[in-house]
Amino acid sequence: MPLDPQLRQLALATKGFMPPDEGDALFEAALAAGAAVHGAPWVEVGSYCGRSTIWLGAAARTAGTHLFAVDHHRGSEENQAGWEHHDTEVVDAGVGKMDTLPFFRRAIHDAGLEDAVIGVVGASPSVARHWTTPIGFLFIDGGHGDEPARLDYEGWAHLVAPGGTLAIHDVFPDPADGGRPPYEQIYLPAMASGRFDEMSVTGSLRVLRRR
């Protein structure tokens, strides 16, 4: 079941870094997770302006659950001024810092997904520290430095329910293809834990199933 073409077009028009084929694979994996684990909430760590959130929010609505989209909306290290992925359009001139929250809220509104997506504004480790509900689908696409990636894994992965799904973005086993932290700090620990089996690979997207 593919994403509605209009929603897909809106997702692709939203600022972000999710390639079309990986977004489609994320949507399909989320739908499968919804069928495997009924009723459990979903969590997205790192929403930026809402590009991937549209794919996930649409899947959450179909699955009859809610997606909690966690992001402090000040941008990751690689989004800051002087880095490759910096975008001056998302800088709040009044405070001199990035603020992607208005872009995120507009994207979710325009997609008609405000009933399915709950934005959680805060640092991932802080939110995870107080989260206790088992998660049916977890998508980690937060900060790509060593420490942020490690903290995302340590804070959230153990909360995935048995039969649930952990999806990880920007996994590059070959250093020539991209940054290493999501691979070294999230993917490898997850596979070494003995709790997850790899279900699919699409570009840099890895989908793992909790045993």
Residues acting as catalytic residues: 144
- Rounded to a whole number of angstroms, the distance between the first and last alpha carbons of the chain is 25
Helix (H, G, I), strand (E, B) or coil at 171: coil
What angle, rounded to 10 degrees, do the helices at 20-36 and 51-63 form? 30
The CA-based angle 164-168-174, given to 5 degrees, is 140
Q: Where are the alpha helices (DSSP H) in 37-183?
A: 51-63, 101-110, 124-129, 146-156, 181
Burial environment of residue 200 by CB neighbours within 10 A (0 to 12, 13 to 18, 19 or more): middle
3-state secondary structure of 52: helix
Give whole-number Cα distances, 143 to 6, 113, 128, in Å.
29, 25, 15
189: tokens are 């620990």
Strands 196-202 and 205-210, sheet pairing: antiparallel
